[in-house]
């Protein structure tokens, strides 16, 4: 009988607890060289705890880690790196003021006799590592001046320079455009073919299906579908992660003929030029385009964050030109920002103050806050939006990404907003939370609200929009019905590859 091949790295019956919470419950995972292994699960399923155990940040309460079939102890991240495990987290561990070469060899700079840094050798070694990746980045470039995609490549170069046998990537494409994702995936396939083991974690299930060789699925801290049994099919993965959630994109159509918002010839100092469109009550107006196309800049202009230097706006048929976010809020405009951690939430507050913060005047006169009124409003919105009831006591930073996103939306419902600008509302949240956000879109439009949906997820944009405006190089190059587009034509239009004719619908 043939023996099973020895895994390059293996987690065997690993359990990790935090107080009374079991984050990982006897999880086993085998990682082979020459293989891209997907690790999937909802937020809170135990993925982050597992990879932190693997990279030495956590110690397992029971079970063991094996390298080449032999047990090893990884007491800290430095030991894990020396053992051959490199982790590329969504938030990079780079020093932005240092050069590419200095970041690649940070903590182990090559030295000459006399303990002087051999700068020439370091730059040449960095150039050699980048060349093996087929990447043209200047080793002398300051990291802070690079794009997000190139900073990520520097993180991977750090792993290769350290001779990592396994590379762990946590949400590596969250801030990348479709072309950058394609380049990253091509690189990962080359690294796989060189014999490295790659552990890939992502909420973008369509790209996982396209990339990985095997997949392990976690649910509630346990393996719900091991790699030996899992099928790399979207429907199977969703079922294993969250059970039966119904239709993936539960779109409802509520658009009316009444124009709620109109923009004409908008221009700002922040890149957008000659942008014109309208949003009707009950409509989801999608705004597509590659990263840097001007999507977020349009959102900033609508919310008064960037002042207009050309064009005009109307809201409910009246002139609308906010001098800042407070005026936009009072007029009934809401912004769910792309980066909810930095721009959307107060992490030192619990859920209810985060909901009421934009409309404190509703809680009492003369700068007073009636906590009973805040609790009543908060509990009502928590129930209406199916937010976890623990949001009343817990700091929002301890809630899941889906619950955090819904708390931001609850804030604007409490403020009686009518136009919702949602910038990447499903970025970084799991499939169950995404479907909850899609159903929330249906509730907003059914109530006659207008929604501007900005998304780099092309399938999401096509499925959930009533009309789609395409941004390219700061301009709106076309407005289309979703049935007239597919992912390829959407990307072509947003990169300016094909002239687009506006469709009035």
pLDDT single digits (tens) 386-408 = 788 888 888 888 887 778 888 88
- Nearest alpha carbon to residue 286 among 113, 60, 34, 490: 490
Strands laid side by side in the 62-67 sheet:
21-31, 9-18, 62-67, 70-72
Most confidently modeled range among 103-107, 261-265, 328-332: 261-265
pLDDT for 499 equals: 40
pLDDT at 209 over 60: yes
pTM (predicted TM-score): 0.67
Rounded Cα gap, residues 402 and 434, in angstroms:
7
Backbone angles phi, psi at 259, to 5 degrees: -80, 120
Across residues 259-268, what is the average pLDDT?
96
* Tokens linked to 12: 């065997």
pLDDT at 501 over 70: no
Q: Which tens digit of pLDDT belongs to each residue from 152-207?
A: 888 888 888 888 899 999 888 876 777 778 888 988 999 999 899 999 998 788 88
Cβ-based burial of 504 (10 A; exposed 0-12, middle 13-18, buried ≥19): exposed
Cβ-proximal residues to 259 (8 Å cutoff; 6+ apart), any chain? 278, 279, 280, 281, 317
Most confidently modeled range among 26-35, 37-46, 229-238, 416-425: 26-35
Q: 259-331+465-505: which CATH topology?
A: Rossmann fold (3.40.50)
pLDDT for 246 equals: 57
List where CATH 3.40.50.300 sits in the chain: 9-242, 259-331+465-505
Q: Which tens digit of pLDDT belongs to each residue from 444-475?
A: 999 999 999 998 888 889 999 999 999 988 89
351 within 8 A of 394, measured Cβ to Cβ:
yes
Cβ-based burial of 357 (10 A; exposed 0-12, middle 13-18, buried ≥19): middle
Across residues 206-226, what is the average pLDDT?
90
pLDDT for 285 equals: 97
pLDDT at 443 over 70: yes
CATH superfamily of 9-242: P-loop containing nucleotide triphosphate hydrolases (3.40.50.300)
Indicate the SS3 state at residue 120. Answer: helix
Across residues 107-117, what is the average pLDDT?
79
Print burial letters for 138-169: b (CB count within 10 Å at least 16), e (below 16): ebeeebeebeebbbbbbbbbbbbbbebbbbbb
């Amino acid at each position: 009988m043939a023996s099973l091949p020895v895994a390059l790295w293996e987690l065997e019956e690993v359990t990790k607890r935090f107080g009374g919470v079991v984050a990982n419950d006897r999880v086993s995972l085998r990682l082979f060289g020459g293989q891209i292994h997907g690790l999937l699960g909802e937020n809170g399923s135990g993925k982050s705890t597992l990879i932190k155990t693997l990279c030495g940040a956590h110690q397992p309460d029971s079970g063991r880690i094996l390298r080449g079939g032999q047990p090893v102890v990884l007491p800290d991240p430095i030991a894990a790196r020396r053992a051959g495990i490199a982790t590329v987290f969504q938030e990079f561990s780079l020093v932005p003021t240092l050069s590419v070469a200095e970041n690649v060899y940070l903590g182990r700079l090559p030295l000459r006799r006399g303990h002087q840094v051999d700068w020439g050798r370091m730059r040449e070694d960095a150039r050699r590592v980048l060349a093996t990746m087929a990447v043209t980045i200047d080793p002398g470039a300051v990291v802070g001046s690079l794009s997000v995609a190139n900073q990520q490549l520097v993180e991977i170069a750090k792993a290769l320079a350290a001779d990592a046998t396994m590379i762990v990537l946590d949400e590596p494409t969250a801030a990348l455009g479709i072309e950058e994702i394609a380049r990253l995936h091509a690189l990962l396939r080359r690294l796989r073919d060189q014999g490295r083991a790659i552990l890939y974690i992502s909420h973008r299930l369509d790209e996982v299906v396209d990339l990985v060789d095997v997949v392990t699925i976690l649910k509630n801290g346990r393996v719900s579908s091991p790699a030996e049994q899992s099928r790399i099919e979207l429907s199977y993965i969703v079922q294993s992660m969250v059970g039966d959630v119904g239709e993936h994109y539960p779109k409802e159509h509520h658009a009316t003929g009444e124009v709620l918002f109109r923009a004409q010839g908008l221009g700002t100092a922040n890149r957008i030029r000659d942008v014109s469109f309208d949003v009707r009550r009950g409509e989801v107006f999608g705004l597509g385009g590659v990263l840097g196309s001007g999507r977020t800049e349009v959102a900033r202009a609508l919310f008064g964050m960037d002042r207009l230097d050309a064009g005009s706006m109307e809201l409910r048929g009246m002139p609308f030109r906010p001098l800042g976010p407070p005026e936009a809020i009072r007029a009934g405009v809401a912004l769910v920002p792309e980066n909810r951690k930095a721009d959307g939430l107060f992490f030192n507050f619990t859920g209810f103050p985060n909901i009421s913060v934009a409309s404190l005047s509703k809680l009492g006169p003369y700068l007073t806050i009636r906590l009973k009124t805040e609790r009543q409003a908060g509990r009502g919105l928590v129930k209406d939006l199916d937010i976890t009831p623990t949001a009343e006591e817990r700091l929002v930073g301890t809630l899941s990404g889906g619950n955090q996103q819904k708390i931001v939306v609850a804030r604007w419902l409490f403020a009686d907003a009518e136009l919702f600008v949602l910038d990447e509302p499903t970025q970084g949240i799991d499939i169950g939370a995404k479907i909850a956000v899609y159903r929330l879109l249906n509730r907003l439009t059914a109530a006659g609200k207008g929604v501007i949906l900005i998304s780099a997820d092309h399938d999401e944009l096509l499925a959930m929009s009533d009309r789609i405006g395409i941004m390219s190089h700061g301009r709106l190059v076309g407005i289309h019905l979703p049935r007239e587009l597919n992912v390829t034509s959407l990307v072509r239009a947003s990169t300016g590859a094909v002239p687009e004719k506006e469709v009035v619908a």
